[in-house]
Amino acid sequence: MKDNGVLVLSEMAGAAKELVDAIIVNPNNLEDVGDALWEALNMPLHEQERRMKQLRYIVEKFNIHQWVRIFMERLNEVKDLQRSMQAKLVGYNTALSITQQYRQANKRILFLDYDGTLVGFHVNINMASPDDDLYAILRDLTSDPKNKVVLISGRNYKTLEEWFGHLDIDLIAEHGAWLKKQRQPWKPSTNLSDHWKKDILPVLNLYTDRTPGTFIEEKSYSLVWHYRKADQGLGELRANELTNNLKYLVVDMGLQLLQGNKVIEIKSAEINKGKAVSAWMQEESPDFAIAIGDDYTDEDIFKALPEDVVTIKVGGHVSAARFYVNRYHDVRKLLTGLIRSGASADESSNHSLQYSSGSNK
């Protein structure tokens, strides 16, 4: 086989990334193509042979069998990763075991995410306000003196105050940027700045203008781009573009970019739900802890908590959580079960009747 001849290859061909000894051209640029042909026609024979040998070597090495092998290896790696991250469904036995641990404990802490965990999602974010059943569950939980309920949300603290400020629960808003111990005033987490907003806002504005149905929500220490109301395909497309656009900028600015459920949130890298719950765990040192959440941001919670904590992901089993349930209804059912078992463990108490009512609607 002769090794003379030169390969001129379009930069748009997939092979251009591997066949680096070809002359790579932009086929839409006539001058570029002309130069390449000139270079090919005038290439010394020994250089042609050197390149051609290398090209043949690569083509022979990466044959169909090699590609399939690489592909299958990658596929297995992904499956292994998924398996290692797989949470277990909360079935009858798991629910029973969680309930038993709960009943035996004297100092319990419950970390509950709000959207997607205690309520479903609404197209209009302001419509996802708590309903009477949820209030009943929260009241029943908090009326047990052994319980501390901590509600954690990405939402702005004013909304949480309006919805839950009157209850005996602790609140963590905006992923940990604002904190409130029950019935006390809100406090911002330490040393946060929002100077970065002026650089990020114009980018978000650009995408909002180009994508009907999207809007920007400004929180004290974060900016959120919502695309739930946008056309689905376009929303996803723009979300990917926006992520790519901001990816490097946010790292330089000490920020982080979170992809939530139809939202992209940019906030200071120092804030995350995991840090917030760790502080609560240290302060309370409970003998039973449970954490439930549905979102990417809740993974920080699952990772931050000790292994014996009952961590539950809502809606999907690929998670750092130990367990999962399918929908927020399952969360309510589980909490209701806990309330009942707490009441039956404490039958001599006058509260028992109160616990068992109002939660099984």
- List residues near Mg ion by CB under 5 A: 113, 115-116, 294-295
Nearer to Mg ion, 82 or 261 (CB): 261
Any residues with CB less than 8 A from the CB of 124 and at least 6 apart, and which? Answer: none
Phi/psi of residue 280, each to 5°? -65, -40
Strands 187-188 and 215-219: unpaired
Least distance to Mg ion from the beta carbon of 50, Å?
Answer: 59
Nearer to Mg ion, 170 or 295 (CB): 295
Phi/psi of residue 252, each to 5°? -60, -30
| Tokens read off for 182 | 């029950």
Nearer to Mg ion, 20 or 123 (CB): 123
Nearer to Mg ion, 22 or 172 (CB): 172
Least distance to Mg ion from the beta carbon of 115, Å?
Answer: 4
User: Distances in Å between the alpha carbon of 228 and those of 14, 113, 120, 288?
Assistant: 35, 20, 14, 36
Beta bridge partners of 290: 110, 310
- Active-site residues, by number, are 113
Least distance to Mg ion from the beta carbon of 167, Å?
Answer: 19
Least distance to Mg ion from the beta carbon of 298, Å?
Answer: 6
Q: At which residue do the structure tokens 């390969």 appear?
A: 7
User: Distances in Å between the alpha carbon of 286 and those of 67, 111, 122, 317?
Assistant: 53, 12, 34, 27
Q: Where are the beta strands (DSSP E) in the chain?
A: 8-10, 23-25, 88-89, 108-113, 147-152, 170-173, 178-180, 187-188, 215-219, 222-226, 255-259, 263-268, 288-293, 310-314, 323-325
Least distance to Mg ion from the beta carbon of 314, Å?
Answer: 8
Nearer to Mg ion, 117 or 268 (CB): 117
Please check whether residue 292 is in contact with residue 112, taking contact to mean a CB–CB distance below 8 angstroms: yes
